[in-house]
Amino acid sequence: MALTGVEIFKLLPKTNCKKCGHPTCLAFAMKLAQRQATLDSCPDVSDEAKKILGEASAPPVRPITLGSGDKAVKMGEETVLFRHEKKFVNPCVFAVEIKDTLSVEEIAKTAGEVVGSEIDRVGQKLRVDAIALTNASGDAAKFEAAAKVVAAEAPGVPVILCTENPQAAEAAVKLFTGNKPVLYGANASNAEAMANIAKANKATLGVFAAGLDELSTLTEKVKSLGVEDMVIDSGARKAKDIIENNTLIRRAAIKKNFKPLGFPVISFMQREDSLHEALLGVVGIAKYSSIVVMSSIEKWKNLALFTLRQNVYTDPQVPMQVEQKIYSIGEATQESPLFITTNFSLTYFIVSGEIENSKVASRLAVMDSEGLSVLTAWAAGKFTASKIAQFITESGIEKEMAQKEIIIPGYVAILSGSIEDKLPGWKITVGPREANAIPAFLKSRSA
Ligand code: SF4
């Protein structure tokens, strides 16, 4: 059970020294209880208290890293049930299954597709994060051979090795030691052997049981064998069961601090029907799966799931923003037009995309509006004539322009007069209301 603020307070030094940045030990204790502070902020806490509080203040869903280096992905560490309460911390991992029954060429082709799956969306790199190699053949030698192809064709890509055969597990996992793989396939009958292999190779152990009772018993057993890092599978495969079991697991971890289920969840979504599979992927993303295993890489499916994942895991309290500056789009010259907009990511990418489509080299002044879109920023007093004038003046952009002209978004046409007043010598032109009208607008200017 999580400790209350008062229980935590009893374990603190009670000197109210403020070194933790809080006015009193009680205030700090309350923040710790709400998981809004970490124990290391108090330098004077005793070792005994550290031991008790360290356990109690650990994230209810254990943080696990899959892979190493720049392709490593973090999972778990979640602290809330609902995104509007705070935010979801670590986006779920997308993995694509490769069966060891495929030919070397087919394995290499899919591994290569995973490597090349990255896309850029509103300034973030999104990709299929991992390969789930499954021992569909049941043969240890085949599994090892397939693992060698994956290691060669997708170096550095995190892997999930799926087998219930300890011999196959041992042969394959050795190829990825140091790359923090997941070794999935521990169950009630092979737990000891699999735990030893995971420990020896510093792998996270994927634990499977049919149902939550068996699963929590098994994770306790695995923990007693010396394995702390686990991902868990309750056996849910239908949408209804995935929602139900994942919700119960998350609720037990967050609300009850029930450690046997406080691990990232792995969900297997592979289906013959791609649309069905994509819908199950949606369920996993929305309802607490930390790893979603799919059967194939199809661009339409990736794009839909990437977008959903990005939306679910964006902090609702912090709009996505781009840096305030003047961006050149194309080879901007002294004659190039200058647009201005706000720094909400989506606004920036849509406007810059339409300017690019127009094939007219331009400049785009992106003003810090705390990530708000044009109309919202204007209504909130963050995209005003004074602020625009200050930004343009301080940028010094006029030195690079033959004609001092700025094109403002059509939705804030009302600002044109006051910007003119604040920016003497500048011509203020009202641009289109919608970004998709920019190419026609630029064409009409050059006609
Ligand atoms: Fe209390 Fe520790 Fe904070 Fe000092 S640093 S006020 S002792 S909790």
3-state secondary structure (DSSP) of residue 102:
coil
Residue nearest to atom 1 of ligand 1 (CA): 25
pLDDT tens per residue, range 324-351 = 999 999 999 999 999 999 999 889 999 9
Nearest alpha carbon to residue 341 among 372, 319, 320 = 372
Of ligand 1's listed atoms, the one at least distance from the Cα of 17 is 4
Of 1-5, 199-203, 267-271, minimum mean pLDDT range: 1-5
Of ligand 1's listed atoms, the one at least distance from the Cα of 45 is 2
Q: How confident is the model at residue 443 (pLDDT cuts 50, 70, 90)?
A: very high
pLDDT surpassing 90 at residue 100: yes
Q: How confident is the model at residue 206 (pLDDT cuts 50, 70, 90)?
A: very high
Phi, psi of 265 (to 5 degrees): -100, 135
Provide the 10 A C-beta neighbour count for residue 279: 15
Percentages (nearest 5) of helix, strand, coil residues in the chain:
45, 15, 40
* Contact assessment for residue 85 and residue 121, using Cβ atoms and an 8 Å cutoff: no
Of 100-109, 120-129, 217-226, 405-414, minimum mean pLDDT range: 120-129
pLDDT surpassing 70 at residue 423: yes
Query: Could you tell me the distance, in angstroms and rounded to a whole number, from the CA of residue 30 to the centre of ligand 1?
Result: 12
Q: What is the average pLDDT across 260-286?
A: 96
Counting ligand 1 atoms within 8 A of each CB, the residue from 11, 24, 25 with the most, and so the one to mutate, is: 25
3-state secondary structure (DSSP) of residue 372:
coil
pLDDT: is 57 or 399 the higher one? 399
Give the pLDDT confidence score for residue 3 in this predicted structure.
78
Of 44-53, 410-419, 437-446, minimum mean pLDDT range: 44-53
Q: How confident is the model at residue 320 (pLDDT cuts 50, 70, 90)?
A: confident
Q: What is the average pLDDT across 247-267?
A: 95
pLDDT surpassing 80 at residue 58: no
Provide the 10 A C-beta neighbour count for residue 362: 21
Give the pLDDT confidence score for residue 2 in this predicted structure.
64
Q: Is 104 in the pocket of ligand 1 (CB under 6 A)?
A: no
Query: Could you tell me the distance, in angstroms and rounded to a whole number, from the CA of residue 28 to the centre of ligand 1?
Result: 7
pLDDT surpassing 90 at residue 415: yes
Q: Is 32 in the pocket of ligand 1 (CB under 6 A)?
A: no
- Residue 217 has what DSSP assignment? H
Q: What is the average pLDDT across 28-52?
A: 86
pTM of the model: 0.78
Give the C-alpha separation, 135 to 164, whole Å. Answer: 8
Query: Could you tell me the distance, in angstroms and rounded to a whole number, from the CA of residue 29 to the centre of ligand 1?
Result: 9
Residue tagged 């046409």 (tokens): 413
Q: How confident is the model at residue 173 (pLDDT cuts 50, 70, 90)?
A: very high
Q: Is 40 in the pocket of ligand 1 (CB under 6 A)?
A: no
